[in-house]
Amino acid sequence: MVPLLRFLADGQFHSSTEIKENLGLSPHELSEAVDRLTMSGLEIASDRQAGCRLITPFSALNAAQIERCLGSRAAAFTLEVVDQTGSTNEDLLQRARQGAPHGLVRVAEIQTAGRGRRQRKWFSAPGGTLTFSLLWNFANGADALSGLPLAVGVSLARSLEAVGLQGVALKWPNDILWRQRKLGGILIETTAPASIGVSAVIGIGLNLQLTAAVVERIDQPAADLESAGLRIGRNELLACLLSDLSDVIGEFSRGGFAGFRAPWQRLHAYQDKMVTVEMSNGEQLTGKATGVDKHGALRVMSAGGERVIHSGEVSLRLAEKMKQ
């Protein structure tokens, strides 16, 4: 599927004869491959005479190009670009358990089992999103990572603003928003190899260009960079994100979340707004979101006083009266 995707990357029509000569696909195999690409959310035009083409040209991931964009910072990372995998997070968790060094980055053209927080499925079309995971080892235990998703959010927002996107906001604990619609998300999972304190796998997904088919599958309002007015190649964008992430993670390793609290609150989409929090036990809490504490826990001022929400296994939304 991915070889055909790359062959059709220019957005031009290519005949079945041309595709067979270059990829060795029979008409039947070509039809099956086109069906799989369409099912993944891509829009493909077909013509009996002209052949088939991608409606939107595809920009393939390329390790050499990412390294060129990283420049001197490339030495801090080990890049793995793969055609397809189940989950880049799961891949790196397995590698972390085997003692892999930090700085390992795995980015995939296609994720078949991408996931978000609370085991939600991450929907994407090949070429329309940037999905990658970064492995980083920390000397201290998991408790020292409190607030890491929020610090990563600050980094992503800062990088997106640096490449020209205005209006980026953050939703606790790990969503990137644009005009109150989800632009991307962060999923951090940890494991504890015997040789170090804890390994964190930082999974990131950003919407670059959502097709109508993908939008239909998403159960919440979604945004993408193109609709926000920003066009940027995935290789360039990944290099930009990694460059700032390395600085942020280094600062977090030395001082924890405290130094990121103020910038996170400046980007907080719900700051001083009425919100409803659905707890994992079914309890609902409504109050004013007053920010986060020095550990990254959400502070909500309710009728019964201030509540501090530590768990990310909750659902947070604007209170109904704020939506009207």
Positions marked catalytic: 117, 182, 317
CA-only gyration radius of the chain, Å: 21
Residues 61/6, Cβ–Cβ less than 8 Å: no
Of the chain, the end-to-end C-alpha distance in Å amounts to: 45
Strands (E), 156-278: 168-171, 175-178, 181-191, 198-207, 274-278
β-strand pairing of 78-85 with 104-111: parallel
Tokens at 120, concatenated: 């939600």
β-pair type (274-278, 315-318)? antiparallel
- What ranges in 104-233 are assigned the alpha helix state H? 148-162, 212-217
Residues 6+ apart with CB under 8 A from 119: none
Structure tokens at 15: 């005949």
Which H/E stretch holds residue 46?
strand 44-47
Q: How many helices (H) and strands (E) does the chain have?
A: 10, 14
b/e burial code for range 41-67 (CB count within 10 A of at least 16 → b)? bbebeeeeeebbbbebebbbbeeebbb
Q: Which residue has the tokens 């085997």?
A: 98
C-alpha 110/C-alpha 1 separation (Å) is 10
